[in-house]
Amino acid sequence: MRARKPVVSLLAVAVAVLPLLVGCGAASTADPTSATATPAPSSVVAVPTGPTVTVPGLDETAAGTSSASSATRSTTVSSPAKTTATSSERATTVPPKSSTVDVTTTVTVPPPTPSTSKAAEPPATQHSTTSQPPSTTKAPVSTKQNSGGTMTRKVVVIDPGHNGQNNAHPEIITQQVPAGFGEMKDCNTTGTETRDGYTESLFNWKTALLLKEKLEAKGITVIMTRDSNDGVGPCVNERAAVGNDNNADAVVSIHGDGDLHESVHGFYVMTAERAPAGAAMAAESHRLATDIRDGLVGDGSTPSNSLGDNGLWQRSDLSGLNLSMRPTVMLEMGNMKSATDAGPMTSAAGQDKYAAGIAAGVVAFLVNGG
């Protein structure tokens, strides 16, 4: 009896320990996902989890758009470390050495690359690659448009020669003023007239008003050197200053000739022979003269039959040309002493035809680079 007593004691101990072993085995097979939803009792030790990672492509599939809790995950815990996923990641625990994660189907996790090593970020804002022309705040004075359209930011100075009261104030118009190249001349002159007394100053004024209207219809800014035909002056140097001070794209001075030979008729366009603003500006003046000559011919006017060369003439003695720093021409629209020219020069229809021809030439000049 003394020899069998230890056997009974060992059996009793085994019976007592067996339930505990069974309980420990049950705890080790519990679903890890239930531990994340409901806190474990204080008597059970929580199983440490490995680091959370983001599975590339998982968030973009239709099956994974509802929530992380709706997918079934089978993971193996092998690392005690634990991290918290960002709001744009799925809180999925993946074994460090496992290459698959079970989310109802098996997904192969690709090796980390520089583009997937960071947490997922919202798509970058897309910027348009269409270049917008910079805001144009320093646009040039001249803006080219086609001859049939509207031109903006063009400046044309129209100088109607002489004035209606010049003949009544010789004390003013005979004053000496600078005439260019160190020379001095009379402030202005009276101008000529037809044999019937129709004054040049009136013809110049009316034709200038019609030209102004036609150019403004194109959107061109027009500046006149005088505002009526019942004043005196201004002097030739003051007229030239209007074009210079306003950086005019073109200056057109309108006159009528008074050649006593009635056989002389037709128009001509004059430019400065001595090029006061240099060769480049002289070339622009010549181009303006050519375009106006062509515009007048195209509208039915005839170049002079004896003065100039095919409607063009360079002069060295005209103050308005010698003082101008801008593209400038002076027009003699016809011989007011000739019956051939006096008729159209004194009629509204003739004046309008002259204005239309000049306007066509000015617009051609501006469109082609003026």
Alpha-carbon gap, residue 156 to 216, rounded angstroms: 10
Q: Which two tokens stand for residue 358?
A: 């000049």
CB contact at 8 A, 291 and 369:
no
Which H or E run contains 244?
A: helix 236-245
Q: Is 92 helix (H, G, I), strand (E, B) or coil?
A: strand
Tell me which residue of 261, 283, 268 sits closest to 339, measured CA to CA: 261
Q: How many CA atoms lie within 13 A of 343 on its CB side?
A: 5
Which H or E run contains 45?
A: none
Residue 31 CB: number of other CB atoms within 10 A? Answer: 11
| Pairing status of strand 183-186 against strand 176-180 | antiparallel
Q: Is 299 helix (H, G, I), strand (E, B) or coil?
A: coil
The sheet carrying 100-103 orders its strands as: 73-74, 100-103, 105-108
Tell me which residue of 256, 147, 258 sits closest to 207, measured CA to CA: 256
Burial 56-65 (b: 16+ CB within 10 A, else e): eebeeeeebe
Known catalytic residue: 332? Answer: yes
Beta strands in 99-182 (DSSP E): 100-103, 105-108, 155-160, 176-180
Which of 89, 193, 200, 332 is catalytic? The answer is 332
| Residue-level length of the chain | 370
Which amino acids are annotated catalytic? 332
